[in-house]
Amino acid sequence: MSERITLHVNGIDHELPAGIDPETPLLTVLRNDLGLKGPKFGCGLEQCNACKVLIDGADVPSCEIPIARVAGLAITTVEGLGTPDNPHPLQEAFVEEQAIQCGYCASGMIIAAQGLLNRVRYPTDDEIRAALADNICRCGVYERVRRAIKMRIGRPIWEPIYEVVEGEPIPDPPVETDGPLPASLVTTPELDRWVRINPGGTITIFTGKVEYGQGIQTAVAQIAAEELDVDLARIEVAGVATGAAPDEGATVGSLSLETTGPAVRQAAAEARQHLLDLAFEELEAETPAAGLVVADGTITDPATGRQTTYWDLFAGRRFERPVTGAAAPKPAAAHRLVGRPETRLDLLAKVTGQPSYLHDLELPGMVYGRVLRPPAYDAHLVSFDEAAVRALPGVIAVVRDGRFLAVIAEREEQAVRALAAMKEQAVWDNRTALPPQDQLYDYMLAQPSRDFLVDRGTATTDPIPPRLEEEPGDRVLAATYYRPYHMHGSLGPSAAAALFQDGRLTVWAQTQGVYPQQAALAAALAMEPDEIEVIYAEGSGCYGHNGADDAAFDAALLALALPGRPVALQWMREDEHGWEPYGSAMVVKLQAALDEAGAVRAWNHDVWSFAHTTRSRPGAAGTSLVAAWHRAEPIEPFQPGPTLGNNFGEYRNADPLYAFPNRRIVTHFLAGSPLRTSSLRSLGAYANVFAIESFMDELAAAAGVDPVEFRLRHLADKRARAVVEAAAARAGWEPRTWPAGEGRGRGIAFARYKNRQAYAAIVVDLEVDRTTGAIQMKRAVIAADAGQIVNPDGLSNQLEGGFIQAASWTLHEAVAFDESGVRSQDWDGYPILRATGVPELATVLINRPEQPFLGSGEGTQPPAPAAIANAVY
Ligand code: FES
């Protein structure tokens, strides 16, 4: 009998179960045997370092190192540094600096930071950046991490990362409303579906929007606490699951706060009014109900001093009434919680390694699944020796359904080992034939397209006029801009869990919408939607339609193959890189005429793109779930056509906000992308604004006008002008009409997302190494107007992260492929921005409390690339 292995973790000796393979990665044992969920699986290749732990004080990745190698050494995980009740100063600093978004990287970052501090007591900024260079954060919080580490060691942080300025009042503000009630309340009017008064002094708020690091739960809690006049700590935001949650569609399009915020606000205001009406009766009040005073849920009649509480009045009861719009929410001037940088509710758990993610889920009797995808889109299974895999230790089932192959094992490392064996056993015939990557844009322009005229942001079937031409004396410029395929590249590969029991399927998924996911699963499995429950569980940041829905379907198939046992399904890094739907490649051609005064007289914009939204739709043929394409009885892929509407996919932000007198904007929709595509943060706006804002600098140079001045001359929208001016002022912009030279550059770009959501302008300072061509961003200033601000720290974090992510796309990223398939299979094959490439950040938030919330999660992606390109230019 082999000797049992003992690990010394967080000061405690743990004797591992007999028979455990000594080659098992440390990460697997920490997470599954010791229940330490802080270290995360990100790649299994020691490339992303989400799995870092301290071994004898040195920070090292734990995803590959075998347990046999670390027996007897002192291992420390993020849980060993501190707990929610007694956090370590580094963990406190991460919370205070809000140095996380989704937080999937946080454990690895904190451990890397502690490893650094174990080596260097007072590291410099460059030493901090260098120490974090191996840790990937896909949400882009590197700069906040650097600041948190400085805070921990007591070094000064001279400048705030953001500041809030009150916007100048806008005459006759264009207040945008849905109608008498927010749309979500029209769909789900029952007050009990939004607010519940609990015994024990808490209040539960329901929303249909899911949290994936954008801070929506905290913002919702702030809004509800504000209207109900209770402390924030009394608010619990319910998890999102089919049946329980209001149906607010998918959490997409920077619409979380815009959609659910007004609904929660109205529902909470009506709950408060109902409670005051009850209190008026209960207290036999001498003050009208509207005059009763509420403080943290205690209601006082000022005339008599008599008191009651929400909980004494109503705990456990149901409102049993619809939200009608009868109660008026508080005026902005009365707000005391909305507008404040409240600490996000989920941070402390995440920085101390508490189970917070789908990947951390543990269910009784849970087993582990892995899927073997074909090596390329059009690879067909020739042969596969199932028996050889079945015979491996721990293997419970091998699932083979057409070219969908998967394995289920008792332990996770056994599933991973079986997957490796499956790879060796499977023989494929790869018929994939992609165009050469270096000819991609020519290929796109040669494809038949479906063309539509875009009028005020809306694609129409109106006849497309010929290109607008110049007049005598005008100067004409033309330019073409390209965007490669980009990937979401979530730090944690997609995962899901599923249980099929008593004819019902329960799926834990990181979907953007539990109801759309329920419908898609039902359609693909030929089940009734009410036979399927979808429970949202947070994963790492997703940034759009990534592999999460596919993983949920994979898990469902495995659960159906093994009824009665919950199956945890985790994609490997190559699954995520190789099979997620990418942001589409695009080509944008611009042509404009400048009149003799240097103003734009005519503007032409043509954009070619594949689909940006390929998630299957109820009632439409086909499915977007990968495994369904591969089963023996396949369902064809959903084939999206062009969508006529306002600022959709490929023509999002194609129509500039500038006051050009003549414009012709045409979208050329291409079907049949060589690579799988779907929604990636900001969709087509990223490339359209890249083109527009780069071209604006070319036009400004041709007109001999400073780029800021040139923009302002063409901007009538006061809020747009305000963000451009704020960014320029904060950056110390000096008017210029010629390049800075000396390898240093400064650029500006601006956009209003979808021309109806947040406004953002960005100024980037950078240096170019003229020998190598390497670009180093030094500083970025963001100015944004997102209407009324709920949580400025959260808003700034979103804007910063959006900029950093888009800067990474711009400077480093392109999905690599050749004729036989995708070659970007891991982080080495898809390099992204690291901590060493991140500039200092400063954000100016223009608060407009009298205005509606404007979605901002994708506000900085569109102007980011042109701010960088213009600085290089
Ligand atoms: Fe770093 Fe999401 S916060 S990956």
pLDDT tens by residue, 202-230? 999 999 888 888 889 999 999 999 999 99
Predicted confidence (pLDDT) at residue 610 exceeds the cutoff of 70: yes
Sheet holding 6-9, edge to edge: 12-15, 6-9, 74-76, 53-55, 58-60
Under 8 Å between Cβ of 857 and 254: yes
Share of the chain above pLDDT 70, in %: 98
Mean pLDDT of 384-394: 96
The Cβ-side half-sphere exposure at 588, using a 13 Å CA radius, reads 28
State the residue for tokens 């359904």: 401
Q: What is the pLDDT of residue 366?
A: 98
Predicted confidence (pLDDT) at residue 119 exceeds the cutoff of 90: yes
Q: How many angstroms separate the CA atoms of 748 and 737, rounded?
A: 13
Residue type, 642: P
Band (pLDDT 50/70/90 cuts) for residue 642 is very high
Q: What is the pLDDT of residue 179?
A: 62
CA 111–ligand 1 middle distance (angstroms): 14
Q: What is the pLDDT of residue 3?
A: 80
CA 5–ligand 1 middle distance (angstroms): 33
Over the stretch 13-62, which tens digit does the pLDDT of each residue have?
Answer: 999 999 999 999 999 999 999 999 999 999 999 999 999 999 999 999 99
Tokens representing 845 are: 């938030």
Q: What is the pLDDT of residue 846?
A: 98
Q: How many angstroms separate the CA atoms of 610 and 586, rounded?
A: 7
Under 8 Å between Cβ of 184 and 263: yes
CA 61–ligand 1 middle distance (angstroms): 17
CA 452–ligand 1 middle distance (angstroms): 38
Tokens representing 833 are: 């921005």
**CA 114, 120, 125 angle in degrees (round to 5)?**
85
**695 alpha carbon, distance to own chain's centre:** 29
Minimum CA distance residue for ligand 1 atom 4: 137
Q: What is the pLDDT of residue 211?
A: 84
Tell me which of 142-151, 187-196, 205-214, 621-630 is least confident: 205-214
**Residue 866 Cβ contacting ligand 1 at under 6 Å:** no
Band (pLDDT 50/70/90 cuts) for residue 178 is low
Predicted confidence (pLDDT) at residue 470 exceeds the cutoff of 90: no
Q: What predicted TM-score, i.e. pTM, was given to this entire model?
A: 0.96
Share of the chain above pLDDT 90, in %: 91
Band (pLDDT 50/70/90 cuts) for residue 196 is very high
Over the stretch 746-784, which tens digit does the pLDDT of each residue have?
Answer: 999 999 999 999 999 999 999 999 899 999 999 999 999
Band (pLDDT 50/70/90 cuts) for residue 736 is confident
Over the stretch 788-813, which tens digit does the pLDDT of each residue have?
Answer: 999 999 999 999 999 999 999 999 99
Predicted confidence (pLDDT) at residue 740 exceeds the cutoff of 80: no
Report the length, in residues, of the chain: 873
**Residue 139 Cβ contacting ligand 1 at under 6 Å:** yes
**Residue 547 Cβ contacting ligand 1 at under 6 Å:** no
CA 138–ligand 1 middle distance (angstroms): 5
Locate the ligand 1 atom nearest the alpha carbon of residue 140 and give its number: 1
Over the stretch 827-847, which tens digit does the pLDDT of each residue have?
Answer: 999 999 999 999 999 999 999
**Residue 347 Cβ contacting ligand 1 at under 6 Å:** no
Predicted confidence (pLDDT) at residue 543 exceeds the cutoff of 80: yes
Mean pLDDT of 239-258: 85
Predicted confidence (pLDDT) at residue 2 exceeds the cutoff of 80: no
**Residue 798 Cβ contacting ligand 1 at under 6 Å:** no
Burial (CB < 10 A; 0-12, 13-18, 19+), residue 156, is exposed
Q: Which residues contact 41 (CB under 8 A, 6 or more apart)?
A: 27, 31, 50, 51, 63, 359, 492, 493, 570
Minimum CA distance residue for ligand 1 atom 1: 137
**Residue 100 Cβ contacting ligand 1 at under 6 Å:** yes
**Residue 221 Cβ contacting ligand 1 at under 6 Å:** no
CA 825–ligand 1 middle distance (angstroms): 20
Q: What is the pLDDT of residue 248?
A: 84
Predicted confidence (pLDDT) at residue 257 exceeds the cutoff of 70: yes
Band (pLDDT 50/70/90 cuts) for residue 250 is confident
Mean pLDDT for the chain overall: 95
Predicted confidence (pLDDT) at residue 415 exceeds the cutoff of 80: yes
Query: Nearest 5°: phi and psi at 368?
Result: -120, 135
**Residue 109 Cβ contacting ligand 1 at under 6 Å:** no
Q: What is the pLDDT of residue 259?
A: 86
Over the stretch 474-529, which tens digit does the pLDDT of each residue have?
Answer: 999 999 999 999 999 999 999 999 999 999 999 999 998 999 999 999 999 999 99
Predicted confidence (pLDDT) at residue 558 exceeds the cutoff of 70: yes
Predicted confidence (pLDDT) at residue 270 exceeds the cutoff of 60: yes
**Residue 140 Cβ contacting ligand 1 at under 6 Å:** no
Burial (CB < 10 A; 0-12, 13-18, 19+), residue 471, is exposed
From 41, 51, 110, 491, mutation site for ligand 1 pocket: most ligand atoms within 8 A of C-beta:
491
CA 473–ligand 1 middle distance (angstroms): 53
Complete DSSP assignment for 102-136: S-TTHHHHHHHHHHHHHH-SS--HHHHHHHTTT--
Tokens representing 552 are: 């949920």
**Residue 138 Cβ contacting ligand 1 at under 6 Å:** yes
**Residue 48 Cβ contacting ligand 1 at under 6 Å:** no
Q: How many angstroms separate the CA atoms of 488 and 544, rounded?
A: 7
Band (pLDDT 50/70/90 cuts) for residue 253 is confident
From 47, 48, 105, 800, mutation site for ligand 1 pocket: most ligand atoms within 8 A of C-beta:
105
State the residue for tokens 């109503």: 314
CA 373–ligand 1 middle distance (angstroms): 26
CA 356–ligand 1 middle distance (angstroms): 13
Q: What is the pLDDT of residue 173?
A: 54
**Residue 101 Cβ contacting ligand 1 at under 6 Å:** yes
CA 152–ligand 1 middle distance (angstroms): 20
Mean pLDDT of 159-177: 79
Predicted confidence (pLDDT) at residue 733 exceeds the cutoff of 60: yes
